[in-house]
Amino acid sequence: MSVVSSPPPRALLSVWNKTGIVEFAKGLDELGFELVSTGGTARVLSEAGLPVLSVSDITKHPEIFDGRVKSLHPAIHGPLLARLHQEEDARELERLGYAPVSVVACNLYPFADAAATHPPLSDAALLEMVDIGGPTMVRASAKNHQHVLIATNPDRYDTILAEIRAAGGVKEVGMDVRQGLALEAFEHTAAYDVAIAQELHRRYAGDPVETNVMEEQRERLPASLLAASHQTTTLRYGENAHQAAALYVAHDAPDDGSTLVTASVEGEKAMSYNNYSDADATLRLCRSLSTDEWPQTPHACVIVKHNNPCGAALGATQREAFEAALASDPESAFGSIICFNEAVQLETAEAVGDLFVEVMMAPGYTAEAKARLMAKKNRRLLTLHSPNGRLAPLQRSLVRKPIEGGVLVQTEEPPVIDWTKAKTVTEVQPTAEQLDSMKFAVRVCEQVKSNAIVMVQGTATVGIGPGQTSRVEAVRIAARRAGERAKDSVLASDAFFPFKDGLEQAAEAGAIAIVQPGGSIRDQEVIDEANARGVSMVFTGHRLFRH
């Protein structure tokens, strides 16, 4: 009596990223798998000495249109989608002469990389990087994960081989493994589709980040809000110990260490959720100040605590900027996050000394400065790569705020104020120096939670009143923190004074020049009070709320 042996299990391998594919194929071959592959992947495997069937051998049809169509065929997708636990599907697959596929390795054309090419690819060239057969293969395998193991990430190859060996065969691999791989596969194709939709929206409908939103007819926000990112780090907890948290990197974030999420982190203690949240606020303001608007004071230093600046300054030297920022509110600087717009020098590190700083950020550190800073336990240093050694200015972007049942979207950008059109509304005119201080104060004020008041001397804050429900209370807090330095200071308000009491408090504290948007029904009352007190006041027409 003859024994009919069962056919070997089959694996389908079709990858753009060839990392680890030869080793994976060798492992499958050793486990008795029959290997099927497409185009470039088949060539790589053949050159490695592995027996491999081409997809064309299975479909009996050549690849066509320069490889645009190769795997889209019932002989491929029938085995991927057959419900082998249903007798009717199993019989139909056998009738058609199609062998089941048990393992698939597939990753997609690098569309996001192609979209980021400089100079940009033409539309026609970019569309060639839209993978069709790959996502179809991945989704079919993931849908039928009860019978197909799908690997979209080369990091999973060793795990799959180990699971097959441990289970004693591919059919015995557990459902938890299958579900995990299927979920990762759907996430892979979802992120891919997001990258395509976002880039084509930018090309075909206009980039909302670059469009002037003040020109209503040109504003084109996406019809569908799409986002894709992948988890890189599990954080110990969220804002509080009972909350779970993780760090995700956006699929289109540059992989060059230039952003907060990709910055290199040094230090014995891991970054926390609150560290990243505060670091984002710190970096945002430091980028906003890292411009060529103040050529005599090019060095910027920003100190943030609980998402609000407690000190910000520009200086002729880096140490000068740090010491001025620290003097704004040295008490709140304890346990803060500090950002510099240029590489940290030894004299700055020495000035920081043993101050308790959770995180420091900069485009770099001299070896001596790094050694001095890292001598303090539990201090983290973040390095944000910058080709010219200086933080890039804040660029316009879209920001999202989740709310119940949806998301709010707006642009994020430094306040664009035409100072030639700003209006002095008082009898006393601000001096050139005061106008320069106003420009600095407004730039800082835009990054402070509302209601916000910022008092400055030159290009350094001396008192900040953040996040109050009453504007006059924000003035009181800023004045109290400024103390004697409030005398002859310049004050910025993120919105108009609804009553004259805020201006009264500012003048009594010592402010002699005020910049605010204007627009209150009681503006004249406030102007009259400023005139009575000899205070100059400028209306910009630009509100700067940050909620």
335 and 356 in contact (C-beta within 8 Å)? yes
Assign 499 to helix, strand or coil: coil
Reported as a single tens digit per residue, the pLDDT across 417-473 is 889 999 999 999 999 999 999 999 999 999 999 999 999 999 999 999 999 999 999
Kindly list the domain boundaries of the chain, sorted by start residue. Answer: 10-200, 231-236+257-383, 420-539
Burial of 377 (0-12, 13-18, 19+ CB in 10 A): exposed
CA–CA gap between residue 417 and residue 439 (Å, rounded): 9
CA–CA gap between residue 298 and residue 293 (Å, rounded): 9
Reported as a single tens digit per residue, the pLDDT across 278-310 is 999 999 999 999 998 899 999 999 999 999 999
> What is the pLDDT at residue 216?
46
Look at 230 and 157; give whichever has higher pLDDT.
157
Reported as a single tens digit per residue, the pLDDT across 138-183 is 999 999 999 999 999 999 999 999 999 999 999 999 999 999 999 9
Residues 6+ apart with CB under 8 A from 239: 245, 273, 274, 277
Average pLDDT over residues 259-285: 92
In whole numbers, what is the pLDDT of the chain averaged over residues? Answer: 90
> What is the pLDDT at residue 66?
80
> What is the pLDDT at residue 3?
41
Domain made up of 231-236+257-383: CATH architecture = 3-Layer(aba) Sandwich (3.40)
Q: How many other CB atoms are there within 10 angstroms of residue 109's CB atom? A: 17
Percent of the chain with pLDDT over 70: 96
Burial of 211 (0-12, 13-18, 19+ CB in 10 A): middle
Listed in sequence order, the DSSP H helices in 483-547 are 501-509, 523-533
251 and 228 in contact (C-beta within 8 Å)? yes
Average pLDDT over residues 463-492: 95
Residues with catalytic function: 143, 306
> What is the pLDDT at residue 250?
82
Residue type, 289: L
Is 214's pLDDT higher than 50?
no
CA–CA gap between residue 131 and residue 110 (Å, rounded): 9
CA–CA gap between residue 335 and residue 285 (Å, rounded): 18
Is 502's pLDDT higher than 50?
yes
> What is the pLDDT at residue 209?
59
Fold of 420-539: Cytidine Deaminase; domain 2 (3.40.140)
Average pLDDT over residues 3-25: 85
Average pLDDT over residues 8-15: 93
Q: How confident is the model at residue 314 (pLDDT cuts 50, 70, 90)?
A: very high
> What is the pLDDT at residue 2?
41
CA–CA gap between residue 462 and residue 470 (Å, rounded): 20
> What is the pLDDT at residue 466?
94
Look at 14 and 216; give whichever has higher pLDDT.
14
Look at 251 and 531; give whichever has higher pLDDT.
531
CA–CA gap between residue 435 and residue 99 (Å, rounded): 78
- Look at residues 6, 185, 183, 35 and name the one whose alpha carbon lies nearest to residue 102: 35
> What is the pLDDT at residue 409?
82
CA distances from 26 to 160, 190, 306 (A): 13, 30, 53
CA–CA gap between residue 12 and residue 325 (Å, rounded): 60
Domains 231-236+257-383 and 420-539 share a fold: yes
pTM metric for this prediction: 0.79
CA–CA gap between residue 392 and residue 341 (Å, rounded): 8
Residue type, 342: E
The DSSP result for 233-293, as a single string, is EEES-SSSTTS-EEEEEETTS-SSS-STTTSEEESSS---HHHHHHHHHHHHHHHHH-SSS
CA–CA gap between residue 81 and residue 496 (Å, rounded): 64
Tell me which of 26-35, 391-400, 407-416 is least confident.
Answer: 407-416
Tell me which of 81-95, 142-156, 218-232, 364-378 is least confident.
Answer: 218-232
Fold of 10-200: Rossmann fold (3.40.50)
CA–CA gap between residue 434 and residue 372 (Å, rounded): 37
> What is the pLDDT at residue 12?
95
CA–CA gap between residue 515 and residue 544 (Å, rounded): 12
Average pLDDT over residues 39-53: 92
CA–CA gap between residue 482 and residue 505 (Å, rounded): 13
Average pLDDT over residues 90-97: 90
CA–CA gap between residue 41 and residue 48 (Å, rounded): 11
